[in-house]
Amino acid sequence: MPLPDPNDQLIDRMLTEILGGERPPDLSGWILRRASEQAGRRHLHWWIGGIAAALLLAAAGTWIIRANLAPWRVGPQLSKTTMPGTQPAEIGYPEPEITGTVAAAGSGAIGRGRVVIAIGQAKLALGGYARVTMTSGSEVGIEGTPRDEVVYLKTGEIVSEVESGHGTFSVRTDDALVRVTGTRFRVTVRPIDRGDPMKKQTFVKVLAGTVLVSGAWGSQALTTGMEFRTPAAATQAAPQMLADKEAPQSKSGKIKSVDAKAKTFVLDLAARPLTFTVNDKTVITLDGKESTFEAAIKAEMKAAVSYTRSGDDRIATKVEVTSAKK
């Protein structure tokens, strides 16, 4: 029996490695027949070498194609990071970033799915286009997906600024969803019953742009300068628009203190002192005559104040001051 050709053994071994450990099909019989028919015995070795080289190139080409496609077949986890319940992160998309001091339950990096509590003022950047400023004590959950960022405001106050053209941004509370594509607005959540901290209400004020607020009670579009609060009880059918629905109120008492820079003053009342804010639309009189903040509103003077509520602020619409001499 003739000894095996070393060249044939080398080609056979190379093909076996390329094909992932599987031996190549035995084509020697077919090759010999075709060689005899086409070229005769004197060209046999040249023709066998050519066929073997072609098979080698074909197998190598197949291996290269498989190698290039392999990462895509394995799955997105090789090139993208994912968290349970979220979509895969977009390659190059900024991760949530916090500046300032916050407290968070658990360990590890602060990212989607975590809830943080601001210790002092803190800021949260999302997607490179949404910036959230949290007041001290605000409790905020980081939710959403790339280009559809969402934060959950459990309690406290945040001011959000969103650049348009990059994605959407929403603030979710227990009784409302505020959704925007580009604007600046403030959302506050606070208890409405001191005896039951779970009963809360959401206040929204649009500082620039337009927002859509929705909840079980329906939906409401707000534009720059508008503000409202969600229903205090589930039986209420619609949010209360502060600018339109707040009825004027009045208080009378002695002026306790004055902040000329902030244009505010404190009225000393039997129940408790209240602070009032004066603006350009406030009508001020002193002893029945038109006057100014600086001239009329002073400590120890008696005043009757008509005002409306805007969240926690009391905006004076009219201040009637009586001098101490009268």
Give tens-digit pLDDT for 15-48. 554 444 455 556 556 555 665 665 555 444 555 5
Return the pLDDT at 37. 60
| Coil, helix or strand at residue 319 | strand
Residue 160 has pLDDT above 90, yes or no: yes
Q: Has residue 169 been placed in a domain?
A: yes
Return the pLDDT at 140. 94
Report whether 167 contacts 182 (CB < 8 A).
Answer: no
| pLDDT 10s digits, 69-98 | 222 222 222 223 333 334 455 678 888 999
Return the pLDDT at 39. 52
Q: Has residue 52 been placed in a domain?
A: yes
Q: Has residue 1 been placed in a domain?
A: no
Report whether 214 contacts 204 (CB < 8 A).
Answer: no
Reported confidence tier of residue 209, pLDDT bands at 50, 70, 90: confident
How far, rounded to the nearest angstrom, does the alpha carbon of residue 158 sit from its chain's CA centroid?
Answer: 12
Same domain, 38 and 172: no
What residues form DSSP beta bridges with 139?
117, 155
Whichever domain contains 192, its CATH number is 2.60.120.1440
Task: Find where tokens 């095996």 sit.
Answer: 4
Same domain, 239 and 267: no
Same domain, 34 and 56: yes
C-alpha–C-alpha distance, residues 299 and 297, integer Å: 7
Same domain, 27 and 115: no
Q: Has residue 86 been placed in a domain?
A: no
- Percent residues over pLDDT 70 in the chain: 63
Residue 22 CB contacts under 8 Å (≥ 6 apart), including other chains: 16
C-alpha–C-alpha distance, residues 219 and 215, integer Å: 6
Same domain, 228 and 268: no
Whichever domain contains 287, its CATH number is 2.40.50.320
Q: Has residue 92 been placed in a domain?
A: no
Reported confidence tier of residue 229, pLDDT bands at 50, 70, 90: confident
Same domain, 125 and 239: yes
Return the pLDDT at 233. 55
Return the pLDDT at 8. 61
C-alpha–C-alpha distance, residues 175 and 278, integer Å: 32
Same domain, 153 and 15: no
Return the pLDDT at 76. 27
How many distinct structural domains can be found in the chain?
Answer: 3
Return the pLDDT at 296. 93
Q: Has residue 213 been placed in a domain?
A: yes
Residue 189 has pLDDT above 80, yes or no: yes
Return the pLDDT at 59. 45
Reported confidence tier of residue 110, pLDDT bands at 50, 70, 90: confident
Return the pLDDT at 311. 64
Q: Has residue 171 been placed in a domain?
A: yes
Q: Of the candidates 59, 74, 89, which is a domain's last residue?
A: 74
Query: When comparing pLDDT for 172 and 192, which is higher?
Result: 172
Amino acid identity at 204: V
- What number of residues does the chain have? 326
The stretch 146-151 carries a mean pLDDT of: 92
What residues form DSSP beta bridges with 241?
228
Return the pLDDT at 63. 36
Q: Of the candidates 39, 74, 109, which is a domain's last residue?
A: 74
Alpha helices in the chain (DSSP H): 6-18, 28-38, 44-74, 242-245, 293-296
Same domain, 272 and 216: no
What is the span of the domain harbouring residue 290?
249-322
Same domain, 267 and 227: no
Return the pLDDT at 220. 84
Report whether 178 contacts 204 (CB < 8 A).
Answer: yes
Report which DSSP code applies to 279: -
Task: Find where tokens 């500082």 sit.
Answer: 207
Q: What is the per-residue DSSP string for 137-176?
A: T-EEEEEEETTEEEEEEEEEEEEEEE-TTS-EEEEE-SS-
Residue 108, token pair as written in the block: 């590890």
Return the pLDDT at 286. 92
- Percent residues over pLDDT 90 in the chain: 31
Q: Of the candidates 216, 243, 270, which is a domain's last residue?
A: 243
Same domain, 108 and 183: yes
Same domain, 239 and 253: no
C-alpha–C-alpha distance, residues 124 and 105, integer Å: 17
Q: Has residue 90 been placed in a domain?
A: no
Reported confidence tier of residue 152, pLDDT bands at 50, 70, 90: very high
| pLDDT 10s digits, 239-292 | 444 444 445 688 899 999 999 988 999 999 887 889 999 998 899 999 989 999
Same domain, 308 and 187: no
